[in-house]
Chain A
Amino acid sequence: MTTVSFFVPRTRRNVELLLLLFAVGIVLLAYLSVGLAVGGAVPIDIVTQGSWLLGFVVAFHLVLRWRAAYADPVVLPIVTLLNGLGVVMIHRLDLAEGRDLAEAFAPRQLMWSGLGIVIAALVIVALRDHRRLRRYTFTAMVAGLVCLLLPLVPFLGVELNGARIWIRVAGFSFQPGEVAKILLTIFFAAYLVQTRDALALAGRTVLGFPLPRARDLGPILVAWLSSLAVLVLERDLGTSLLFFGLFVAMLYVATERISWITIGLLLFSGGAYVAYLLFGHVRQRVEFWLDPWSPEALAQSSQLVDGLMGMGAGGLFGTGLGRGNPQITPFAESDFIIPSFGEELGLIGLCAILMLYVLFVERGLRTALGTRDGFGKLLATGLAFSVALQIFVVVGGVTRVIPLTGLTSPFLSSGGSSLLSNWVIVALLLRISDHARRPTPDEAPPPVTPPAGPGKAVIA
Chain B
Amino acid sequence: MSELTLSAVRLGVLVLLWLFIFSIVGVLRSDLYGTRIVHRSARGRNTIRPTRSSPTRPRRGFSILAVVDGQMRGTTVPLREAGVLLGRNPECTLILDDDFASGRHARVYYDDKSWYVEDLGSTNGTHVNGERIDAPTPLTDGTQLRIGATVLELRR
Looking across the interface, which residue of chain A has its beta carbon closest to that of B55? A442
Looking across the interface, which residue of chain A has its beta carbon closest to that of B22? A355
**Which residues of A (1-38) have their CB < 8 Å from a CB of B?**
1-10, 12, 15, 19, 22-23, 25-26, 29-30, 32-33, 36-37
- How many residues of B are in contact with the other chain, CB < 8 A? 65
Most chain-B Cβ atoms within 10 A of its Cβ — which of A6, A353, A355? A6
B13 contact set on A, CB distance < 8 A: 26, 29-30, 33, 321, 345, 349
Task: Known contacts A12-B27, A12-B31; decide if A320 and B40 are in contact (CB<8 Å).
Answer: no
A201 contact set on B, CB distance < 8 A: 121
Q: Check B53 against A439 for contact (C-beta < 8 Å).
A: yes
CA–CA, A437 to B33, complex, Å?
7
Most chain-B Cβ atoms within 10 A of its Cβ — which of A2, A355, A444? A2
Looking across the interface, which residue of chain A has its beta carbon closest to that of B93? A4
B93 contact set on A, CB distance < 8 A: 4
CA–CA, A370 to B36, complex, Å?
10
**Distance in Å: Cβ of B41 to nearest Cβ of chain A:** 8
B24 contact set on A, CB distance < 8 A: 19, 74, 77-78, 359
- Beta-carbon contacts of B26-53 to A below 8 Å, as 1s and 0s? 0110010111111111101000110111
Looking across the interface, which residue of chain A has its beta carbon closest to that of B106? A458
Q: Check B9 against A33 for contact (C-beta < 8 Å).
A: yes
- Beta-carbon contacts of B64-96 to A below 8 Å, as 1s and 0s? 000000011001010011110100001101110
**Distance in Å: Cβ of A357 to nearest Cβ of chain B:** 11
Q: Check B27 against A460 for contact (C-beta < 8 Å).
A: no
Q: Check A454 against B116 for contact (C-beta < 8 Å).
A: yes
Q: Check B97 against A356 for contact (C-beta < 8 Å).
A: no
Q: Which of A1, A10, A460 contacts B40 (CB 8 A)?
A: A1
B12 contacts the other chain (CB 8 A):
yes
Q: Check B80 against A3 for contact (C-beta < 8 Å).
A: no
B103 contacts the other chain (CB 8 A):
yes
B116 contact set on A, CB distance < 8 A: 454
- Beta-carbon contacts of B1-18 to A below 8 Å, as 1s and 0s? 100011101111110111
Task: Known contacts A321-B10, A359-B21, A455-B135; decide if A1 and B118 are in contact (CB<8 Å).
Answer: no
Q: Check B1 against A2 for contact (C-beta < 8 Å).
A: no
Q: Check A8 against B38 for contact (C-beta < 8 Å).
A: no
Indicate the size class of the contact surface on chain A.
Answer: 35 or more
A352 contacts the other chain (CB 8 A):
yes
B147 contacts the other chain (CB 8 A):
no
CA–CA, A439 to B94, complex, Å?
17
Looking across the interface, which residue of chain B has its beta carbon closest to that of A73? B27
B107 contacts the other chain (CB 8 A):
yes
**Distance in Å: Cβ of A40 to nearest Cβ of chain B:** 5
**Distance in Å: Cβ of A263 to nearest Cβ of chain B:** 22
**Distance in Å: Cβ of A451 to nearest Cβ of chain B:** 8
A74 contact set on B, CB distance < 8 A: 24, 27-28
Looking across the interface, which residue of chain B has its beta carbon closest to that of A41? B1
Q: Check A8 against B52 for contact (C-beta < 8 Å).
A: yes
**Distance in Å: Cβ of A216 to nearest Cβ of chain B:** 16
B109 contact set on A, CB distance < 8 A: 454, 458
Q: Check B121 against A6 for contact (C-beta < 8 Å).
A: no
CA–CA, A74 to B95, complex, Å?
28
Q: Check B55 against A36 for contact (C-beta < 8 Å).
A: no
A214 contact set on B, CB distance < 8 A: none
Closest 8 CB pairs of A and B: A320-B10, A444-B82, A370-B34, A454-B136, A352-B17, A33-B9, A6-B51, A442-B55
Q: Which residues of B contact A (CB under 8 A)?
A: 1, 5-7, 9-14, 16-18, 20-21, 23-25, 27-28, 31, 33-42, 44, 48-49, 51-55, 71-72, 75, 77, 80-83, 85, 90-91, 93-95, 97, 103-104, 107, 109, 111, 116, 118, 120-121, 135-136
Give 25 pairs: A residue, B residue, CB < 8 Å, sorted on A: A1-B72, A1-B97, A2-B37, A2-B72, A3-B72, A4-B95, A6-B35, A26-B16, A29-B13, A33-B12, A36-B1, A36-B6, A40-B1, A74-B27, A81-B20, A345-B17, A349-B17, A352-B17, A359-B21, A359-B24, A369-B34, A377-B91, A442-B53, A458-B83, A458-B104
Name 9 extra pairs, CB < 8 A, besides A1-B40, A323-B6, A352-B17: A2-B72, A5-B35, A5-B36, A15-B27, A349-B14, A439-B53, A454-B111, A458-B83, A458-B120
